[in-house]
């Protein structure tokens, strides 16, 4: 595949990733937060078996196999359940924005763990991302701690899961770059995620699944977005223009919010878009502070990137 085609495929992956939040929420409304997530990751696992293949785990470094599995599964569960347990569709989009703190946090962690160097521009980048998130959570009341706390108190579970997921994914990215040794465990990790969710569904107080035509369509699209997204990103990172893909990837919070608003028919306030722009630009500044010495955080979505 030529470099231009591979880059285009990688850009398609960004579209897929951006659609995930809205689609997961749509599925959870029909099949429940846990059951819906279990169905999505089960179907996505099947797609990954045919697109990426199943790895030879005997060749995996032990630290990557065990700790990588734990971190990946924990992140995906936090992401899916934070969206599923959101009280409203608009809140689900807000929760998704909390999750998108992970790009700037990953760069900060990589600096703290001495995996890369960064200029002082990382400080305003981190501040802008955090202020952007606070702006989103404040709603139309301006930047207000009281408004943020009142918003989070309505559903601490969803916001807490999303925030924990951002931390977990940043640690997963650091571990992958240091311990994976070029191995790609994405298919295995998706299967483990599906199995974990099914266990929770079987032994927890899960709501019944109500299948409908709309839910089935959302399920297929969500699984396809995840499975095809990871496969397409792998092609883009390995054979395409990484600089273009890196720059585009930092605007996923905006793309994701826009697609979620369309998919869920949930209009968003101007303040939300302002905050989303701050998160994206702040993450981009953090990345630029590294001066391009290392791959972008999103590249570690696919471990052999």
3-50 confidence digits (pLDDT tens): 788 889 888 988 998 898 899 999 998 899 999 999 999 999 999 998
* Both structure tokens of 215: 């839910």
Contact call for residues 135 and 66 (beta carbons, < 8 A):
no
- Pair 287, 296: CB distance under 8 Å: yes
Confidence band of 289 (pLDDT split at 50, 70, 90): confident
pTM value?
Answer: 0.85
At residue 34, the pLDDT reads 92
What digits encode the pLDDT tens for the residues 75-107?
Answer: 999 999 999 999 988 889 889 888 888 888 888
Distance (Å, whole) CA 209 – CA 30: 6
**Taking the mean position of all CA atoms in its chain, how far away is CA 235?**
19
Tell me the three state secondary structure of residue 56. coil
Residue 28 half-sphere exposure toward CB, CA atoms < 13 A: 27
Q: Which residue bears the tokens 């495929």? A: 9
Say what the pLDDT of residue 238 is: 67
Counting residues of the chain whose pLDDT is more than 70, the rounded percentage is 92
Burial class (CB in 10 A: 0-12, 13-18, 19+), 136: buried
Residues 67 and 47: their CA atoms lie apart, in Å, by: 24
**How much is the pLDDT for 305?**
30
pLDDT tops 80 at residue 205: no
Provide the pLDDT for residue 292. Answer: 52
| Range of 22-31, 117-126, 294-303 with top mean pLDDT | 22-31
User: What do you get for the CA distance between the two ends of the chain, in Å?
Assistant: 16
* pLDDT higher at 227 or 115: 227
Tokens read off for 129:
């991302």
Q: Which residues lie below 8 Å from residue 70, measured CB to CB, with a gap of 6+?
A: none
The predicted-structure confidence for 22-31, as pLDDT tens digits, reads as follows: 999 999 988 9
Whether 188 shows a pLDDT value over 90: the answer reads yes
For residue 294, give Cα distances in angstroms to 52, 120, 243, 265, 290: 24, 17, 11, 38, 7
Burial classification of residue 294, based on how many CB atoms lie within 10 Å of its CB (0-12 exposed, 13-18 middle, 19 or more buried) = middle
Q: How far apart (Å, rounded) are the C-alpha atoms in residues 259 and 279?
A: 17
């Amino acid at each position: 595949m030529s470099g231009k085609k591979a880059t285009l495929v990688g850009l398609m992956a960004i579209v897929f990733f951006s659609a995930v939040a809205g689609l997961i929420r749509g599925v959870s409304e029909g099949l429940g937060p846990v059951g819906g997530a279990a169905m999505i990751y089960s179907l996505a696992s099947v797609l990954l078996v045919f697109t990426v293949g199943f790895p030879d785990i005997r060749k995996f470094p032990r630290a990557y196999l065990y700790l990588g599995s734990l971190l990946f599964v924990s992140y995906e569960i936090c992401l899916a359940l934070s969206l599923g347990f959101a009280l409203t569709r608009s809140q689900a989009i807000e929760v998704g924005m909390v999750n998108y703190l992970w790009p700037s946090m990953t760069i900060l962690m990589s600096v703290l763990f001495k995996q890369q160097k960064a200029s002082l521009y990382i400080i305003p980048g981190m501040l802008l991302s955090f202020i952007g998130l606070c702006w989103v959570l404040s709603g139309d009341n301006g930047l207000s701690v009281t408004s943020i706390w009142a918003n989070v108190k309505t559903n601490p579970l969803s916001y807490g899961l999303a925030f924990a997921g951002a931390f977990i994914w940043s640690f997963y990215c650091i571990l992958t770059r240091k311990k994976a040794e070029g191995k790609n465990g994405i298919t295995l990790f998706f299967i483990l995620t599906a199995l974990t969710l099914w266990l929770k569904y079987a032994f927890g107080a899960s709501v019944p699944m109500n299948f409908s035509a709309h839910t089935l369509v959302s399920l297929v699209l969500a699984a396809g977005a995840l499975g095809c997204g990871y496969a397409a990103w792998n092609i883009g990172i390995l054979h395409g223009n990484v600089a273009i893909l890196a720059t585009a990837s930092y605007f996923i919070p905006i793309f994701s919010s826009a697609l979620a608003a369309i998919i869920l028919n949930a209009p968003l306030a101007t303040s939300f878009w302002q905050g989303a722009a701050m998160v994206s630009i702040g993450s981009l500044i953090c990345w630029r502070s590294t001066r391009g010495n290392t791959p972008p955080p999103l590249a570690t979505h696919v471990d052999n990137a």
